[in-house]
């Protein structure tokens, strides 16, 4: 049994025995980077640690009624979701390299892919991505591979966090990014069509977009495809319970954030990115694809049909260096969608839209509160203008128990008074009314 040095004296004795000092262990760190005088306290008991952490946790404002959105949403999660994904065979499962030993995991991924295809109206889906932002980046890189072009056009109504991710990933690549400015909350068709050239690989749009506005990209898809340009659409999966799918619009690649499908907000992750495309592009798609087949006795079985990873046979020709997927998050989404079913998803989407419409009417009836855009349709988010800067109003509403919205000045110039508000099926008529009363009082 190996000797374990539990005390400082034992540690120093071990170092002495091998002719080293504690400083020798850190000799390779430059002096200017060395931290001095940590002043760490003595160790305390587990009981004391728990009490201290509980006191810190109690300072968090967990009581806030949430009207925040911007890509991440406070949806109801049935208890059965957590109960099922907590089973050890699910949350400890690793990459299903051996199909004969991984049929359950493979079937779960296959069902997930099938649901994503039905939701988006596309032909094939991969086994999931890290999150909505990186999925959109991967879709962009996929378009570059398919077309052999290096120009991307993206509207600024696409989630600004996603745009920052794309800009960061492509900063040192030979890719030309052209950003168009939205037209009253919708995709700027005139500017987009002007940028469809023989050098353009893809147009990137979002529906509903970051402002919550609903659009139909059928006309853009047609114009783009005539020039060999792909249309990439980022979407909000809950909205697809009632909205026209990207596939019906003519999109070539569809991505999105799957957090709303049974995954808690969790301070920013882990989340779930999904990606689907047309069958003809499947070999250009990153990640893995699980397929269904039959064995020698005609029994159904599941296998990894495509594994486009650099560790496999494709090596340097791999489509991406994505080394895993969000398998547990993908399974969570599968269970959530199974529990809701087609009717349940439609009802949830309709509740979000109806409650958002009610909130819109209540809030815009307040003196000084006006809609920012003239766009006729929105799903569960909308933008209002306040008579004063939104950031200060939001901070005061936190004191009243409401995470009331997102200040758009953080990402958009000239929108200092604008606030993005999201409403999900969890928000009650009473909560919406109290938010309106609190906002009116603050103003």
CB distance 128 to 325 below 8 Å: yes
How many CA within 13 A on the CB side of residue 170? 22
Angle between helices 103-120 and 327-364 (to 10 degrees): 30
Q: Which residue has the higher pLDDT, 155 or 91?
A: 155
Query: Quick one: average pLDDT of 238-259?
Result: 98
Predicted pLDDT of residue 37: 72
Residue 4's CB is within 10 A of a number of other CB atoms, namely 6
What is the distance between the alpha carbons of residues 150 and 141, in angstroms, rounded to a whole number?
9
Token pair for residue 308?
A: 């486009």
Token pair for residue 373?
A: 């855009």
Predicted structure pTM score = 0.87
Predicted pLDDT of residue 1: 47
Q: How confident is the model at residue 5 (pLDDT cuts 50, 70, 90)?
A: low
Share of the chain above pLDDT 70, in %: 95
Delimit the CATH 3.40.640.10 region(s) of the chain: 79-336
Delimit the CATH 3.90.1150.10 region(s) of the chain: 65-74+343-442
Token pair for residue 402?
A: 């409401």
Three-class DSSP category at 7: coil
Which residues lie below 8 Å from residue 76, measured CB to CB, with a gap of 6+? 424, 425, 426
In the predicted structure, residue 2 carries a pLDDT above the cut 60: no
In the predicted structure, residue 400 carries a pLDDT above the cut 90: yes
How many CA within 13 A on the CB side of residue 184? 8
Residue 84's CB is within 10 A of a number of other CB atoms, namely 17
What is the distance between the alpha carbons of residues 63 and 144, in angstroms, rounded to a whole number?
46
CB distance 116 to 125 below 8 Å: yes
Q: How confident is the model at residue 315 (pLDDT cuts 50, 70, 90)?
A: low
Give me the architecture of the 65-74+343-442 domain, per CATH.
Answer: Alpha-Beta Complex (3.90)
Query: In CATH, what number does 79-336 get?
Result: 3.40.640.10
Share of the chain above pLDDT 90, in %: 76
Query: Quick one: average pLDDT of 329-342?
Result: 96
Predicted pLDDT of residue 6: 63
Q: How confident is the model at residue 94 (pLDDT cuts 50, 70, 90)?
A: confident
Q: Which of 130-134, 174-178, 226-230, 311-315 comes out lowest in average pLDDT?
A: 311-315
Residue located via tokens 């939205």: 182
Listed in sequence order, the DSSP H helices in 227-369 are: 246-249, 327-364
């Amino acid at each position: 049994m190996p000797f374990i040095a539990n005390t400082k004296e034992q540690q120093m004795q071990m170092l002495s025995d091998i002719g080293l000092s504690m400083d020798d262990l850190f000799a390779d760190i430059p002096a200017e980077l060395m931290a001095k005088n940590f002043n760490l306290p003595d160790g305390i008991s587990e009981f004391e640690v728990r009490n201290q952490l509980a006191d810190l946790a109690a300072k968090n404002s967990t009581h806030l009624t949430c009207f925040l959105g911007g890509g991440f949403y406070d949806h109801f999660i049935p208890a059965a979701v957590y109960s099922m994904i907590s089973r050890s065979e699910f949350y400890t499962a690793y990459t299903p390299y051996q199909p004969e030993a991984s049929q359950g995991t493979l079937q779960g991924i296959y069902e997930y892919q099938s649901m994503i295809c039905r939701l988006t109206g596309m032909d094939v889906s991969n086994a999931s991505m890290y999150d909505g932002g990186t999925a959109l980046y991967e879709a962009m890189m996929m378009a570059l591979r398919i077309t052999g072009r290096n120009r991307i056009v993206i509207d600024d109504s696409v989630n600004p966090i996603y745009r920052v991710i794309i800009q960061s990933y492509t900063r040192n690549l030979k890719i030309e990014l052209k950003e168009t400015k939205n037209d009253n909350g919708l995709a700027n068709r005139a500017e987009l069509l002007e940028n469809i050239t023989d050098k353009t690989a893809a147009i990137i749009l979002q529906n509903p977009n970051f402002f919550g506005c609903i659009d139909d990209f059928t006309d853009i898809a047609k114009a783009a495809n005539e020039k060999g340009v792909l249309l990439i659409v980022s979407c909000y999966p809950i909205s697809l319970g009632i909205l026209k799918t990207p596939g019906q619009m003519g999109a070539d690649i569809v991505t999105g954030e799957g957090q709303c499908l049974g995954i808690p907000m969790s301070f920013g992750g882990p989340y779930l990115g999904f990606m689907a495309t047309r069958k003809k592009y499947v070999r250009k798609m990153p990640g893995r694809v699980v397929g269904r087949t039959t064995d020698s006795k005609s029994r159904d079985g599941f296998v990894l049909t495509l594994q486009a990873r650099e560790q496999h046979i494709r090596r340097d020709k791999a489509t991406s260096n994505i080394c895993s997927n969000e398998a547990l998050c993908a399974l969570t989404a599968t269970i959530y969608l199974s529990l809701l079913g087609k009717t349940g998803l439609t009802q949830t989407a309709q509740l979000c839209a109806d409650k958002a419409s009610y909130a819109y009417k209540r809030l815009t009836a307040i003196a000084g509160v006006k809609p920012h855009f003239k766009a006729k349709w929105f799903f569960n988010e909308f933008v209002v203008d306040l008579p004063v800067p939104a950031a200060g109003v939001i901070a005061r509403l936190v004191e009243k128990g409401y995470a009331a919205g997102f200040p758009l000045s953080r990402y958009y110039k000239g929108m200092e008074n604008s606030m993005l508000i999201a409403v999900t099926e969890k928000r009650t008529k009473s909560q919406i009314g109290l938010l309106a009363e609190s906002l009116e009082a603050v103003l």
